[in-house]
Copies of this chain bind each other. A is one copy, B any other.
Amino acid sequence: MNPTAAILIIGNEILSGRTQDINVQFIAKRLADLGIKLEEVRVIPDVPGRIITAVNELRAAYSQLFTTGGIGPTHDDITSECIAAAFGVPWQHHPETFAMMAERMGENFNAARQRMATMPRGARPIANAVSLAPGFSIGNVHVMAGVPRIMQAMFLALEPELPRGVPITMRTVYGMGIFEGAIAAGLTDIQTRYAHVDLGSYPFRREEKGGVAIVAKGTDVPALEAAIAEATDLLAAQGATPVQGEPL
């Protein structure tokens, strides 16, 4: 069984529509490569009770939980102390991080910035090349920045520590000029015969041309390819022009 995961986005700025999230797609793709099955994403506001409840629900339900957002120095950055509360441990200075930041920042290491060196007891910092202040892991929870390039650096630094499974692979065939309704019965038949392949059907339109993307996802690559070969035949039989490969 592949490990499972959830992402918790602590983000008023996503819920207000101010910011377009792009962290989910980055993490989702990396998790697929690592063989970790992403099972849920939640976006919640910067409210302590909401954060604590969601962290405890999701860390119990999945083998790994990744959070993004709320670990900066300002008043609205409350993720770290909420993680401590969720785990029932003190929120305290992390000595190595505190010393490192004090040295690097000198007189600019004010009270606000000292909060970024304050972590739940037992946290393991996630050092990274982009931001001086680290993220951290505690138990199966990985606490990362919301700013995409910092989050990405933290995730890549964290990867060697994560459990792995069989990579989750996708194969796709595009049928141009066809509607889903015309191939639905045939797809159901393919899905039935490849029960352990996750077969999806997605209409698309690019400029004035439209069609259907048939996506096979799973850990058994020969089965994915066999299912896509059958979907390709199904599309061709309906008069569509099948094109295998990456999105057009």
Contacts and interface: CB of A to CB of B under 8 A. Distances in A.
Interface of A: 9, 12-22, 24-29, 31-32, 38-46, 72-77, 108, 110-113, 116, 147, 149, 168, 170, 180-185, 187-188, 191, 198-203, 205, 215, 217
B44 A40 contact: yes
Contacts of A21: 21, 24-25
B43 A12 contact: no
Given A40-B42, A40-B44, A181 B108 contact: yes
Contact of A181 (B9, B12, B73): B73
Pairs A-B, 4 closest by C-beta atoms: A112-B184, A17-B28, A17-B29, A41-B43
A32 to B, nearest CB: 6
B29 A15 contact: no
A191 B46 CA distance: 14
A77 B24 CA distance: 22
Contact of A28 (B16, B76, B201): B16
